[in-house]
Chain A
Amino acid sequence: MKRIGKLTIAGAVALIGTAGVASAQTKTLDTVKSRGSLTCGVNIGLAGFSQPDDKGNWTGLDVDYCKAIAAAVLGDATKVKYVPTTAKERFTALQSGEIDVLIRNTTWTTARDSSLGLIFAGVNYYDGQGFMVKKALGVKTAKELNGATVCVQTGTTTELNLADYFKANKMTYKPVVFEKLDETVQAYLAGRCDVYTTDQSGLYSIRVQQPKPDDHVVLPEIISKEPLGPSVRQGDDQWLTVVKWVHYALLNAEEAGITQANVGEMLNSTNPEVKRILGKDGELGKGIGLGNDFVVNVVKAVGNYGELFERNVGTGSRLNIARGLNNLWNKGGIQYAPPLR
């Protein structure tokens, strides 16, 4: 009894000791630098945004953003650990510290910016929610969908927008709610539901992967604003600034005409704006915590925003989505970055 008693006390004291130490506020930038790699939360598989190929290499718009941040912070775009997350667990992974940044086609909303303890660093893709139906149904517009069965993923803004849209238009619907993207699409293809709904980019991505893409039609209505962007934990202003300005760097590079191919010769340019962006003039990166030439590393790794877009979801890819809203502000879109100075 004596020995057991002493062991119990010793064990309890040890546990209290470790539990009592409240975790100090960690600086993510320092953590990433000391770890030597970036842990990036991405989608488990959405063509155009983040998808592993048959050799396990990740590609996509969100993946390229991860590479850009790694290039800016560590100088090497390959030093990224990709953590695939479902819609259900993505926020918990970021809240708990499992990932450094979440770049997973996540919509920026008030609730997510506040009560989840996260903060968004920008919009890397302006999107909207749409519907996809089988062509055989002969439906031309979303207003004809009264009484339809709709497949949707759980815990997304899609689920909420769907309810709002049908209620506002005084229509009824039957939801079939899945956890994973694959299962949702499988059920739609098997005919379990008439309609599949998600962000338009997702609809195009899924449609293009079908054996007969022309059997499916994406309805013209866009029923919500879905600004997709990277998010980080609240309370870490330095890391937020880093992620924000990597995104702005990509946009400024496209505005200044700096591409992956010409960044080498652009280093010798006499244009003051180009010199500033590439870090030849002034101390661009110092205040953020990065090297002055971080834009050079970023553009060398993934190109500018336009190249990134076209390569993953635009004319250079199977999805073939037009720039539309995602074009630069002076070319008819709404991507606008503050100046790099």
Chain B
Amino acid sequence: MAVIASDRGRRAARAGFFYRPEVRQAIYQIITVVALVALFYILITNTAANLKRQNIASGFGFIDRTAGFDVSQHLIDFDASMTYGRAFLVGLLNTLLVAGLGIVLATVIGFTVGISRLSTNWLVARLATVYVEVIRNVPVLLQLFFWYFAVLKSLPEPRQGSYAIPGGGFLNVRGLYLPAPVPEPGFGTVALAVLIGVVVSIAVYYFARRRQMLTGQRFPVLWTSLALIVLAPLGVFIALGQPLGFDYPVFRGFNFQGGMVLQPEFVALLLGLSIYTASFIAEIVRSGIQGVSKGQKEAALSIGLSKGQSLRLVVIPQAMRIIIPPLTSQFLNLTKNSSLGVAIAYPDLVSIWSGTVLNQTGQAVEVILVTMGVYLSLSLLTSAFMNWFNSRMALVER
């Protein structure tokens, strides 16, 4: 037997280089890679050649051209004399703003509703169920239209008299106008106090954890942090003589001028997206909590923890393992759904860049590629962060 096998081996070795399996695998893989590269090359050159033949402009030179249009909400300075590149940044910042705030708000609402659905209070549980079932099953665009048009129409026009908000604010169909804080000299110290408070709170958190590991005693981190971040700077603020002025909105001509304004487009998009995504997050949270074995909750109760404490300290940390991966998907969904803002006049990236700029320059290929690249990067960043968070939350089994 051994003789025949070695005979076979010797015959194969003598037969040649190309009969060896590793060599053949390598060759097939190289051919596939070359074929793929060739395919992409042909696609790209074909597209470029077609664009040239049809006399459609190509290249990214248009980024430096003057925009010629204005944007209603811009976190950085922008007017019609600035470039398309700057308009892109404005749109990107608007998308990040609504996506970031939306994720935070959706998580808060989602966790609340998810836990409420498991409540022993019959009314609370049923209300949460109704919320989830109704919101999940209505398309998100319709919900955005509802928030924008149905809610909007009920607000008064500025000339018909706006609702006055105590403190100098006004609410009407053009938005929520609030007095804008204008920092006076001395406010820098207050900001510094807040920063110091944040740093010290983080230190307190780690100190408290170490102390708990060593002695088992719990330290009221939350209250200490609040005191450090809110009360201490407040004291500094008052001590320095309240260095903060206010710019009040005043009605002139057609609209309120001055102050800061929350536009109805932004509020409608934020509320619509958060409430919609929260209904999905609620179900994820519920499934996570129900995925923790019942013995954990009973054991927690048996050692004297209250129901709230057992939920907070025992069940939810274990449920996070189940919750975080689908939660990441929902965050990505929210970020991508923010592109629906164009339907309700919110100037996000898609509205400004893939809408107005695409139309003015006609360069669909470049604009859409950039948009896809931006959303891909945002999604990859979000999921990378959530994966890191997940790995930290992972329970190390012994």
Contacts and interface: CB of A to CB of B under 8 A. Distances in A.
Interface in A1-41: 1-2, 4-6, 8-9, 12-13, 15-16, 19-20, 22-23, 25
A35 to B, nearest CB: 21
Contacts of B31: 5, 9
B73 to A, nearest CB: 10
Contacts of B265: 176
A112 interface: yes
Interface string B29-47: 1011001101100110010
A174 B358 CA distance: 22
A15 B43 CA distance: 10
Contact of A155 (B39, B54, B159, B355): B355
Interface in B228-255: 252-255
Interface stretch (B20-28, B195-203, B297-305, B377-385): B20-28
B28 A5 contact: yes
Of B351, B360, B364, most A-chain CB atoms within 10 Å: B360
B386 interface: no
B49 A117 contact: no
A235 B68 contact: no
Interface residues of A, number: 60
A122 interface: no
A145 B149 CA distance: 25
A182 to B, nearest CB: 10
A72 B226 CA distance: 78
Given A23-B50, A154-B355, A117 B56 contact: yes
Contacts of A173: 70
B257 interface: yes
Of A20, A136, A180, most B-chain CB atoms within 10 Å: A20
B53 interface: yes
A177 B24 contact: no
A156 B343 contact: no
Contacts of B159: 136-137
Nearest to A234: B55
A91 B362 CA distance: 7
Contacts of A179: 342-343, 351, 355
A226 interface: no
A164 to B, nearest CB: 7
Nearest to A133: B254
A175 B70 contact: yes
Interface string A119-146: 0000000000000000011000000011
6 contacts: A16-B35, A88-B359, A154-B342, A174-B255, A178-B342, A179-B351
Interface of B: 21, 24-25, 28-29, 31-32, 35-36, 38-39, 42-43, 46, 49-51, 53-57, 68-72, 80, 149, 152-153, 156-157, 159, 173-174, 252-255, 257, 264-265, 342-345, 347, 351, 355-356, 358-364
8 smallest beta-carbon distances between A and B, as pairs: A155-B359, A5-B28, A12-B35, A116-B362, A115-B57, A117-B56, A191-B157, A117-B54
Interface of A: 1-2, 4-6, 8-9, 12-13, 15-16, 19-20, 22-23, 25, 87-88, 91-92, 95, 111-112, 114-117, 136-137, 145-149, 154-156, 159-160, 163-164, 167, 173-180, 183, 186-187, 190-192, 194, 233-235
